[in-house]
Amino acid sequence: MQELVLQSQQRNYPIFIGQGLIQQQHNIQSFCTGDKVLIVSNPQIASHYAESVKALFSDKTHHIYLIAEGENEKNLANYSAILDYLIKHQFRRNDCLIALGGGVIGDLGGFVAASYQRGMNLIQLPTSLLAQVDSSVGGKTAVNHPQGKNLIGAFYQPHAVLIDLNTLATLPQREYISGLAEIVKYAILGEAKILELLQTNTDKIIQRDPLILEQLIYLSCAKKADVVAQDETEKGARALLNLGHSFGHAIEKISQYAQYLHGEAVAIGLHMAINLSQLKGMLSEINAEQYHQLLSNLGLPQKTNCCKKPAEILDAMLLDKKNLNHKYRLILPTDSTCVIVEEPNNVLLSQAIEMQITLD
Ligand SMILES: NC(=O)c1ccc[n+]([C@@H]2O[C@H](COP(=O)([O-])OP(=O)(O)OC[C@H]3O[C@@H](n4cnc5c(N)ncnc54)[C@H](O)[C@@H]3O)[C@@H](O)[C@H]2O)c1
């Protein structure tokens, strides 16, 4: 087992990473100081892992709250219903909510924990690769609104994160590959060790080699923890973690969240960011090519047919809440790191998008 500590103003907390952690007795229990735990999950994930999680907290009274599967469930109705449940069962602030699932469960459960009695104990137990390398760490919690994703939420750091790689065994392959896009993002942000591991072990990674995966998850969480420690509430450096995401969110939105998984849309967005950087002369051809190659070698999509013209993506990007004052605000890779660029040249931006549009 490996352990990292994320240091933030709200609290410092451990991130435990290893194989079989939910089956082992473990000091995770110490993060639940009350006498009750509420496991929030969905039926499929709970069928695999809820019993182990209950055994892990064997000295507590267990409750389990299941929501249906899917992004649409990250909504205010479920948020409110879970709060009703906590009130009805007289949970206290030092009781613990355990978010057992992917990013949907983590974001929803996290927001409930953030607001119940002004903040209750929260353990993130991520079971998708995306959640293990990204959403469970760093304290962003949210639900969606009909007008847009993640419009209602809070920064609320968990009290601990328990990443058990063995839970990935039941994750569908498409979801798994989609999660790899966020790991590539850390590589392009300048994490040379991640880049090297991805490039030299591509086949093993696709086959979920646990030793390589453990290293990748550890390095990804370490990078995220480092950035969050510098900028907990995204006033500056944390925005770099949105590399590829402005494009990706626009692609998801245009395709009505039905065609692409989050990581797949981010992968296409990464290609667009790489194109733009190269067109602007900020990224060498050799580095651009190795990033494009890596994304496609991992089996991530390269092109989108979500629209015929770049203008549709540009319009959707302007609505992204990460844009300040209705200007495009993009993260672009350079040869050693990434930088924030505002209002980039619109002609080049259109060209960079068009290179990844296919009419097929
Ligand atoms: N808070 C953040 O910092 C942050 C960062 C990135 C993404 N997100 C959010 O995360 C969400 C996407 O997360 P996701 O990709 O994990 O999607 P998800 O939570 O919908 O999980 C993907 C699918 O995999 C299934 N699943 C998850 N773990 C499984 C397992 N071990 N075995 C079998 N099935 C499993 C889920 O039931 C679901 O069908 C989005 O809502 C996004 O906005 C949040």
Mutate to test the pocket of ligand 1, among 40, 41, 128 (most ligand atoms within 8 A of CB): 128
Task: Report which ligand 1 atom has the smallest distance to the Cα of 178.
Answer: 15
Nearest CA residue ID for atom 41, ligand 1: 104
Instruction: Tell me if 99 sits within 8 A of 40, measured CB to CB.
Output: yes
d(CA 150, CA 74): 9
174 is catalytic: no
Nearest CA residue ID for atom 12, ligand 1: 103
pLDDT of residue 324: 57
pLDDT-based confidence at 359, cuts 50/70/90? confident
Write the DSSP symbol of residue 25.
-
User: Comparing 342 with 208, which gets the higher pLDDT?
Assistant: 208
DSSP assignment of 143-197 = EEETTEEEEEEEE---SEEEEEGGGGGGS-HHHHHHHHHHHHHHHHTT-HHHHHH
Indicate the pTM of the whole model: 0.96
Label the pairing between strands 36-41 and 96-101: parallel
d(CA 44, CA 14): 27
DSSP assignment of 214-274 = HHHHHHHHHHHHHHHHH-TTSSSGGGGGGTTHHHHHHHHHHTTTTS--HHHHHHHHHHHHH
CA of 347 to the centre of ligand 1 (A): 35
Token readout for 1 is 């087992």
Element (H, E) at 65: strand 61-66
Long-range contacts of 174-178 (CB under 8 A, 24+ apart): 174/261, 175/102, 175/128, 175/129, 175/130, 175/261, 176/129, 176/208, 177/206, 177/263, 177/298, 177/299, 177/300, 178/129, 178/130, 178/261, 178/262, 178/263, 178/264, 178/267, 178/300
pLDDT digits (tens, 9 = 90+) for 217-270: 999 999 999 999 999 999 999 999 999 999 999 999 999 989 999 999 999 999
d(CA 274, CA 292): 8
d(CA 246, CA 244): 6
118 is catalytic: yes
pLDDT of residue 319: 77
93 is catalytic: no
User: In the chain, what percentage of residues exceed pLDDT 90?
Assistant: 90
Indicate which residue of 223, 245, 271, 329 is catalytic: 245
pLDDT of residue 149: 87
pLDDT digits (tens, 9 = 90+) for 168-195: 999 999 999 999 999 999 999 999 999 9
245 is catalytic: yes
Residues 6+ apart with CB under 8 A from 80: none
40 Cβ inside 6 Å of ligand 1: no
pLDDT digits (tens, 9 = 90+) for 85-137: 999 999 999 999 999 999 999 999 999 999 999 999 999 999 999 999 999 99
103 Cβ inside 6 Å of ligand 1: yes
Beta-bridge mates of residue 6: 13
pLDDT-based confidence at 326, cuts 50/70/90? low
Beta strands in 67-137 (DSSP E): 96-101, 121-126
pLDDT digits (tens, 9 = 90+) for 8-24: 999 999 999 999 999 98
- The letter for the amino acid at 301 is P
- The letter for the amino acid at 166 is N
CA of 255 to the centre of ligand 1 (A): 18
CA of 125 to the centre of ligand 1 (A): 12
Phi and psi angles of residue 145, each rounded to the nearest 5 degrees, phi first: -120, 150
d(CA 138, CA 228): 6
- The letter for the amino acid at 309 is K
238 is catalytic: yes
Average pLDDT taken over every residue of the chain = 95
Q: Which residue has the tokens 């203008």?
A: 311
The CA distances from residue 316 to 166, 282, 303, 306, 319, in Å, are: 38, 25, 17, 12, 5
- The letter for the amino acid at 269 is G
CA of 137 to the centre of ligand 1 (A): 13
d(CA 331, CA 333): 7
CA of 105 to the centre of ligand 1 (A): 7
Element (H, E) at 13: strand 12-18
CA of 336 to the centre of ligand 1 (A): 30
Task: Report which ligand 1 atom has the smallest distance to the Cα of 179.
Answer: 15
pLDDT of residue 28: 87
Q: What is the mean pLDDT of residues 315-344?
A: 83
Q: Report the length, in residues, of the chain.
A: 360
234 is catalytic: yes
Mutate to test the pocket of ligand 1, among 52, 104, 300 (most ligand atoms within 8 A of CB): 104
Indicate which residue of 74, 140, 185, 223 is catalytic: 140
pLDDT of residue 147: 82
74 Cβ inside 6 Å of ligand 1: yes
